Amino acid sequence: MTKSIGILTAGGDSPGLNAAIRAIGKSAIRQHGWNVIGFKDGFRGLMQNRIMRLDNDLLSGILTTGGTILGTGRDKPHRMKVGEKVLDMTDVMIDNFNHHNLDALVCLGGGGTHKNALILSEKGLPIITLPKTIDADLVGTDATLGFDTALGIATEAVDRLHSTAHSHHRIIVVEIMGHNVGWLTLGAGLGGGADVIVIPEIPYSVDAISEAISLRQAAGSTFSIVAVAEGAVSAKLAEMIDEIPDSDDAPEQVKRLLKKRKTTVEIAAQLEKSTGLEARVTILGHVQRGGAPSPMDRVVATKLGVAATAAVAAGRTGVMVASRGEGVELIPIADVAGKVHLVPHDHPWVQSARALGVCMGDRP
Catalytic-residue membership of 135: yes
Closest alpha carbon to 153 in 263, 324, 282: 282
Q: What is the pLDDT of residues 24-40, one digit of tens each?
A: 999 999 999 999 999 99
Enumerate domains of the chain plus CATH numbers: 4-145+293-325 (3.40.50.450), 150-290+344-355 (3.40.50.460)
* Model pLDDT, residue 247: 86
* Model pLDDT, residue 246: 86
Q: How many residues does the chain have?
A: 364
* Model pLDDT, residue 260: 87
Alpha-carbon distance of 354 to 186, in angstroms, equals 12
Q: What is the pLDDT of residues 238-261, one digit of tens each?
A: 999 988 888 888 889 888 988 889
* Model pLDDT, residue 138: 98
Q: Which residues pair with 224 in a beta bridge?
A: 171
Which of 41, 75, 135, 148 is catalytic? The answer is 135
* Model pLDDT, residue 259: 87
**Alpha carbon distances (Å) from 243 to 22, 30, 204:** 48, 57, 17
Q: What is the pLDDT of residues 112-147, one digit of tens each?
A: 999 999 999 999 999 999 999 999 999 999 999 999
**Alpha carbon distances (Å) from 342 to 179, 231, 354:** 11, 12, 18
The predicted model scores a pTM of 0.95
Write the burial class of residue 185 (CB in 10 Å: 0-12 exposed, 13-18 middle, 19+ buried).
Answer: buried
Alpha-carbon distance of 131 to 128, in angstroms, equals 10
Is the dihedral angle over the CA atoms 342, 192, 173, 195 positive or is it negative? positive
With a cut of 50, which residues of the chain have pLDDT below it? none
Alpha-carbon distance of 260 to 11, in angstroms, equals 25
* Model pLDDT, residue 86: 96
* Model pLDDT, residue 112: 96
* Model pLDDT, residue 232: 97
